[in-house]
Amino acid sequence: MGFPDDVCVEGQKIQDLPEGVNTGLYIGYVWNKVWRLCSQTRSATAGVINNVIDAPTSSYVKPLPAMLLENQNGTFVEVTQTMGIHFEAPTTSVVAADFNNDGWQDLLYMPYGNMAEIHKPIVYLNHQGEVFKQMADHGIVITDLGATGSGVDVIDYDKDGDLDIVTANERGRWRLFENHSDSRNANHFIGVTVNDAPSGTATKLGAKATVSACGNVWERRVGDTSSAYAVAFNNDLLFGLGTCEKIDKITVEWTNGETVELLTETVDKYVATKG
């Protein structure tokens, strides 16, 4: 019973501990239903305590609002509120992707979250470039207690024509969420698998695919990513076409300037460059 006086002294950092003092997680009963818990570890430490009656006030990361900046002729203009994005929470990553294949880029924010609670990413669907509306029932849930959100990216891992989601978490498991939005709509897609340049003098990284169909033009690039510390190397580029059922033109351009045109008119499939 009791708590040692030389452990977790207020204001004393771990690098200043006397020689021979053991590091670790300390918990002890003080008196009158009061327990004390402290951490003397060099790495970040997280835990969850249940049935807490009262506790000191915790400090939290300042909730900064998300911002959306629109590129208007080379000048970025904030359009966050105008476009319907309303939330204030610290986030660690955001990815722009067409989750329902309607031809418009949606947004998925990865929140930092609360280590003691289950948390969910925030998804906004793009309504034809006029406004974003938050999607409540997307099914992406991070259940690891003690974990915080880290990153998010997309990949059509099963090549069924809709983008699946990979989430990364600090002190938690990475997860793959399969997209079943194709069961909710009749939108079409075309996938372009980009290989190395035909001459062999340029890799697929940085190559750009352009799809023209039904009066619209879409571009995707190998290496687009939401991460601040890594580059995705997914060479399967997926294009949502909405209700469009015919492809007019597909071109692929590599970083060395080589260009090829892929011939196809039908949708709902993947086509590939030779490589």
pTM (global) more than 0.75: yes
Q: Residues 4-42: pLDDT tens digits?
A: 666 677 666 665 666 766 677 778 888 888 888 877 776
Beta-bridge partners for 248:
none
Lowest-pLDDT range of 37-46, 159-168, 173-182, 186-195: 37-46
**Domain 188-272 annotated CATH 2.60.40:** yes
Give the pLDDT of residue 6. Answer: 67
Inter-residue contact 97 to 105 (CB < 8 Å): yes
pLDDT at position 15 is 59
Using CA atoms, how far apart are residues 250 and 272, in angstroms rounded to an integer? Answer: 11
In this prediction, what percent of the chain has a pLDDT beyond 90?
A: 55
233 class by beta-carbon count within 10 Å (0-12 exposed, 13-18 middle, 19+ buried): exposed
30, two tokens? 């003080």
Q: DSSP assignment, residue 149? A: E
Domain boundaries, the chain: 1-45, 69-177, 188-272
